[in-house]
């Protein structure tokens, strides 16, 4: 027979008093109560009690005035938002240590794969120097029958801009769809008349990331690409801007020296895809069909891959490409770039290449010839490390040297819009072509050698003796190198 346990009145009272004591101990401090004891018992009865003080009433915020508390909360919000943005944008930089003995001519699948691209075989490439780039551009635009897509960073009102507007308007009135994409910051001086004429003729003109609160999170991300795609069959890529100083032949400091290429063949699809990336972002329009992506046959022997992607959480493709090819070079590296500010890992990679016997030479514009002397001073801050590591540096005196080109071992070369600095490698939208073409690499090496005649080569001992004021400017401006 089972017996059900039951509680007696005494046991219930005992439990109640024990619970009540715990509850009172939680609410009241020992010194907050007065006790009365009867002669026969020890029952404690609270007479007067002082509640515990609120933590918040004695806390940090309570000690602040309302304006100060509000400022503190706002500052905390800013810090938290900054950490959120940093966590979204941060990525692990690649280790620039490559264990590979293969020549670069055999590494195109690796180079394109690591930069999220594709190797396109069977292309024809034509190198275009200085004003000849625009001659080719206008030739292709005038011949357009299906579509014209134009993208640039810098456009200033002038003779060149007027010629371009005339050409685009003429094609649009002939029934050819025309899309024009200009960076909003670089296009501030393109002129209201140019924009009005393009839009009145029916051209689609879009300004990338204009000054607006909805773009506050991406306003520093500029569209630095310079490209033209005509009928989806021909593309021009380089460093040329729509500014009158790019006309001519880089003959003096009123003009600019620059290089670009004209492409025909399957790789034009990749350049068209790069244009569509920002076009879709700015307009939402996705263009399709043979007018923009026609079937493309082999027309030459050059293999090309395109680096333009900026994946979330990973280094941008242009950064991986420029750093990676330095690590696999065996014989020689030639770099011509207007804004050369390599980070610490790239400096180490260039110096290690020189120490393993690679002939490493870099050409930049002099401070006097540059359009942005502040950038040159920021670059100077680490030149002593490169010189000590065996890298040869040449400063071009004749004019602004604006081409962004590299050659590796006389077999592979890069050309496009990317500077060798953090802004291009981390922030801007860029495009760089990687080309396996010994003939083109030889042309670029020849241009480098020719341009050395207008250069002063920096010497490590003389560079170490540069003036105190020069050093101060170098160090001060380097602190802002990611914003320059």
Q: Within a domain: residue 8?
A: no
Determine the pLDDT at residue 49: 46
Rounded CA-CA distance 96/98 in Å is 6
Rounded to 10 degrees, the C-alpha dihedral 216/217/219/222 comes to -160
Q: Within a domain: residue 406?
A: yes
Count Cα neighbours of 17 within 13 Å in the Cβ-side half-sphere. Answer: 10
Q: Within a domain: residue 55?
A: no
* Band (96; pLDDT cuts 50, 70, 90): low
Q: Which of 144-158, 163-177, 469-483 has the lowest mean pLDDT?
A: 469-483
| Phi, psi dihedrals of residue 361, rounded to the nearest 5° | -130, 135
Determine the pLDDT at residue 213: 60
* Band (101; pLDDT cuts 50, 70, 90): confident
Look up residue 301 and give its DSSP letter.
Answer: S
Q: Within a domain: residue 3?
A: no
Q: Is the pLDDT of residue 183 over 60?
A: yes
Which of 299, 258, 300 has the alpha carbon at shortest distance from 137?
258
- The maximal CA–CA distance of the chain, rounded, in angstroms, is 116
Taking the CA atoms of 26, 27, 30 and 36 in sequence, report the sign of the dihedral they define: negative
* Band (271; pLDDT cuts 50, 70, 90): very high
* Band (93; pLDDT cuts 50, 70, 90): low
Rounded CA-CA distance 459/445 in Å is 22
Strand, helix or coil at 444? helix
The CATH number for 286's domain is: 3.30.870.10
Rounded CA-CA distance 253/365 in Å is 11
The domain total for the chain is: 1
- For the record, the structure tokens of 130 come out as 């200085």
* 8 A C-beta contact, residue 434 and residue 111: yes
* 8 A C-beta contact, residue 183 and residue 268: no
Q: What is the pLDDT of residues 12-21, one digit of tens each?
A: 334 434 444 4
Tell me the percentage of the chain whose pLDDT exceeds 70.
Answer: 81
How confident is the model over 460-480, as a mean pLDDT? Answer: 87
Q: Within a domain: residue 37?
A: no
Determine the pLDDT at residue 219: 59
Q: Within a domain: residue 38?
A: no
In order, the DSSP letters of 235-273 are EEEES--BSGGGSS-S-STTSEE-EEEEEESTTHHHHHH
Mean of the per-residue pLDDT values of the chain? 86
Look up residue 356 and give its DSSP letter.
Answer: T
Look up residue 426 and give its DSSP letter.
Answer: I
Nearest 5 degrees, angle CA 438-CA 441-CA 444? 155
Tell me the percentage of the chain whose pLDDT exceeds 90.
Answer: 70
Task: Identify how many contiguous H helices and E strands the chain contains and give both numbers.
Answer: 16, 17
Q: Within a domain: residue 94?
A: no
How confident is the model over 119-144, as a mean pLDDT? Answer: 98
- For the record, the structure tokens of 346 come out as 């790239």
The range of the structural domain enclosing residue 187 comes to 104-478
Q: What is the pLDDT of residues 196-253, one digit of tens each?
A: 999 999 999 999 988 776 656 565 789 999 999 999 999 999 999 999 999 999 999 9
Q: Within a domain: residue 35?
A: no
Determine the pLDDT at residue 125: 99
CA 461 to the chain's CA centroid: 34
């Amino acid at each position: 027979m089972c017996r059900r346990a039951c509680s007696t009145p005494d046991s219930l009272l005992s439990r109640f008093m024990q619970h009540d004591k715990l509850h009172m101990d939680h609410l009241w401090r020992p010194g907050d109560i007065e006790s009365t004891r009867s002669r026969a018992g020890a029952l404690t009865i609270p007479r007067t009690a002082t509640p515990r003080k609120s933590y918040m009433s004695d806390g940090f915020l309570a000690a602040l005035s309302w304006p100060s508390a509000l400022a503190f909360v706002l500052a905390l919000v800013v810090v938290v938002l900054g950490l959120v943005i940093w966590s979204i944008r941060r990525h692990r930089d690649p280790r620039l240590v490559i264990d590979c003995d293969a020549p670069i001519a055999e590494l195109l699948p690796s180079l394109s794969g690591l930069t999220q691209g594709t190797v396109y075989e069977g292309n024809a490439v034509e190198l275009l120097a200085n004003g000849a780039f625009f001659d080719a551009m206008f030739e292709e635009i005038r011949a357009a029958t299906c579509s014209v897509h134009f993208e640039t960073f810098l456009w200033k009102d002038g003779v060149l801009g007027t010629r371009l507007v005339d050409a685009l308007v003429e094609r649009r009135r002939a029934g050819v769809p025309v899309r024009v994409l200009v960076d909003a910051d670089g296009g501030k001086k393109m002129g209201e008349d140019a924009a009005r004429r393009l839009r009145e003729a029916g051209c689609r003109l879009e300004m990338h990331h204009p000054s607006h609160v909805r773009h506050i999170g991406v306003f520093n991300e500029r569209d630095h690409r310079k490209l033209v795609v005509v009928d989806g069959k021909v593309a021009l890529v380089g460093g040329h801007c729509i500014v009158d100083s790019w006309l001519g032949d880089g003959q003096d400091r009123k003009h600019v020296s620059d290089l670009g290429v004209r492409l025909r063949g399957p790789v034009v699809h990749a350049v068209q895809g790069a244009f569509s990336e920002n076009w879709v972002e700015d307009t939402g329009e996705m263009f399709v069909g043979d007018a923009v992506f026609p079937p493309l046959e082999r027309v030459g022997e050059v293999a090309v891959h395109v680096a333009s992607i900026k994946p979330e959480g990973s280094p941008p493709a242009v950064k991986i490409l420029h750093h990676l090819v330095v690590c696999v070079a065996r014989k020689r590296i030639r770099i011509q770039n207007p804004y050369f500010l390599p980070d610490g890992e790239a400096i180490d990679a260039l110096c290690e290449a020189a120490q393993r016997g690679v002939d490493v030479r870099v050409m930049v514009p002099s401070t006097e010839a540059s359009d942005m002397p502040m950038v040159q001073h920021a670059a100077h801050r680490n030149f002593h490390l490169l010189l000590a590591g065996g890298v040869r540096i040449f400063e071009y005196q004749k004019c602004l040297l604006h081409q962004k080109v590299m050659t590796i071992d006389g077999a592979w070369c890069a050309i496009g819009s990317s500077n060798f600095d953090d802004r291009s490698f981390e922030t801007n939208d860029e495009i760089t072509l990687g080309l396996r073409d010994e003939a083109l690499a030889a042309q670029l090496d020849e241009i480098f050698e020719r341009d050395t005649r207008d250069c002063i080569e920096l010497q490590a001992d003389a560079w170490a003796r540069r003036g105190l004021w020069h050093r101060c400017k170098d160090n001060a401006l380097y602190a802002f190198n990611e914003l320059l």
